[in-house]
Amino acid sequence: MTTPDESIRAVTREAAVRPNVSYSETVVLSDTSKRRIVVVPFFIKHTDHTELAIKIITYQKAPPPNDWAILEEKSVSLGEAAARELQRALGIHLSVARENTDGSFLVIRVAEGTATLGEHDPASVAAALMKVLSQPEIVSHLAEAELGDALIGALRGAIRLREMVSAVQELRTHLTQDENEETIYQGWCQRHSWAFGNAYVMTDEVREISPGDHLDLLLPSVISGYRDIVELKRPDCKVLMYDSAHRNFYFSADVSKAIGQCHRYLDVLHDAATVGLRDHPEIVAYHPRAIIVIGRSVGWSEDKIKALHGLNSRLAGLTVMTYDQLLAQGERLVELLRVTPPEESETDLETIEDFPF
C-alpha cells in the first residue's frame, strides 16, 4: 500500500495456508485492456533466515460475465537467488537504457566498490569516470567521504584539471568567434580567476569600493589576503600604436584611458580598504595592484610583444595584458597541472604570482 508520500511504502505480511509461509500484497507490473501482469511476494521461513520468493502471474481478460481469468501456464515462480538476479539484471540494463546510443558500457556496482574492466580501454573508462566525478553533487560527497589521501589528491587533481581544460576551451571559443562583449569575459573571469595565476583562487562578490566606483573583479591573494583589481576592456580595442617618426610603440588611447581609470581605482581602494572596506571589514587592500585585460595579440611580431613587455616593466603596480595572453597563461597552468603530481600541484602552483605578460 502506498502512502501519500510516494517515497514511503507500507508493506503488509500475512500468514499463508502453507506452514512457515507468508505473503505480501500483489504488485501490479503491467495493466492493459487485454492483459495484467502481477508479482506476488512470498516469505519462506527457514531455521536461520527468511527467504524471499516471488510468483509472476499473467491474467487475461475473459468475455463477460467473467472478469479476469488466470492463465497458469504463463505463471513463473522464482526463488530468492533468481529474484535477486532479476533485480540485478534490471538495475544494470535500466542504467544502460538511460543512454540514447548503442555501444559498449561499463556498469559499476557502487555497493561493491570494485569493477572489472575486461576488454574496455582504461583511458575511455577514466574519461567516463571523470565525467561522472566532475558533477557538483558528486564532488560535494567526495569532499565528505573518508578516502585515502592519495586517492583524494588524484581525484581532486583530475577534476580540477578537467574543469580548467574546459574553461580554457571556452575562452578560446569566445575569442575565435570574435565575441567582444565585456560581460562575456567578465563572467568567465569571475568563474575562473585562477587564470590570472594560482596566487588568486577566488573572487569577491563585492565590487563597489566607493559610490560611483564599481570594479570588474576584486581578487584576494592566497598569500597575503590583500586585494588586487582586474579591469576588463573589449577584445576589439587597440593595445599598441606605432610612432614611425620615433620608431617606437606606445599605448593606444583605449589603454591610456584604462590606465587612468585603474590609477583612480587603486587610490580609492587603498584609502578605503587599508583596514577593511566599509561594511566589509574582511576585504583589505594595501598598496593594491591592477591588471588590465584588453585587445588581442594574436599574430603580433616579436618586436611588438617585446614592446608591451617593456612598457609594462615601466608601470608601477599595473600590468596590461591581452586576452590572447590570458588564454596562453591559462593553457600554461593546465600544462603545469598535467605534469605535476597531485600532491605537489596544490602547493607549488600557489607560489606562481607573476607571468611574463
For 15-55, the pLDDT digits (tens) are 888 888 888 888 888 877 777 788 888 888 888 888 888 88
Instruction: Encode pLDDT of 275-287 as tens digits.
Output: 676 667 777 788 8
Write down the pLDDT at residue 239: 97
322 or 157: which carries more pLDDT confidence? 322
Distance CA 40, CA 78 (A): 10
Do strands 227-232 and 240-243 pair parallel, antiparallel, or not at all (unpaired)?
Answer: unpaired
Write down the pLDDT at residue 38: 83
Confidence band for 355, pLDDT divided at 50, 70 and 90:
very low
Confidence band for 342, pLDDT divided at 50, 70 and 90:
very low
Confidence band for 152, pLDDT divided at 50, 70 and 90:
low
Distance CA 219, CA 200 (A): 6
Considering the entire predicted model, what is its pTM? 0.56
Instruction: Encode pLDDT of 243-282 as tens digits.
Output: 999 999 999 999 999 999 999 999 988 887 776 766 677 7
Which of the listed ranges 71-85, 114-128, 214-228 does the model predict with the highest average pLDDT? 214-228
pLDDT at 101 over 80: no
- H helical segments located in the chain: 80-97, 122-133, 136-144, 149-176, 182-191, 253-273, 302-313, 323-339, 342-348
Distance CA 309, CA 314 (A): 9
Write down the pLDDT at residue 103: 65
Quick one: what percent of the chain has pLDDT higher than 70? 65
**Which segment of 25-29, 89-93, 103-107 scores lowest on mean pLDDT?**
103-107
pLDDT at 353 over 50: no
> What average pLDDT does the segment 291-295 reach?
96
Distance CA 228, CA 266 (A): 9
pLDDT at 145 over 70: no
pLDDT at 212 over 90: no
Cell 579591469 sits on residue:
231
Distance CA 294, CA 312 (A): 13
Write down the pLDDT at residue 230: 93
Write down the pLDDT at residue 133: 64
pLDDT at 183 over 60: yes
> What average pLDDT does the segment 173-180 reach?
95
pLDDT at 130 over 60: yes
